[in-house]
Structure 1
Amino acid sequence: MKKCRTSPFYFVMAALITAAAFRSPLCGAAGGFSYQAAPKIITPNGDKLNDVFFVFYKNLDSQSSLSGKIFNLMGMKVADMANTGGAGVILTAPSGGWHPQSADSWEGYFKWSPSRGISPGIYIWQIEAEGQVYTGTVVVAQ
Structure 2
Amino acid sequence: MTEKFAEFLTDLTTYHAAERYWRERFAALPCDPFANGWEDWGTSGVRVIADESCNIYGAVHRADNRGIVIVMCKPSEAIQQLTAWTATWGEGWQDTVPVDYLKINLVHTEQSESMALALLQRFVCESASIEDINALIGSLTTG
* TM-score normalised by length of structure 2: 0.33
Higher relative strand content = 1
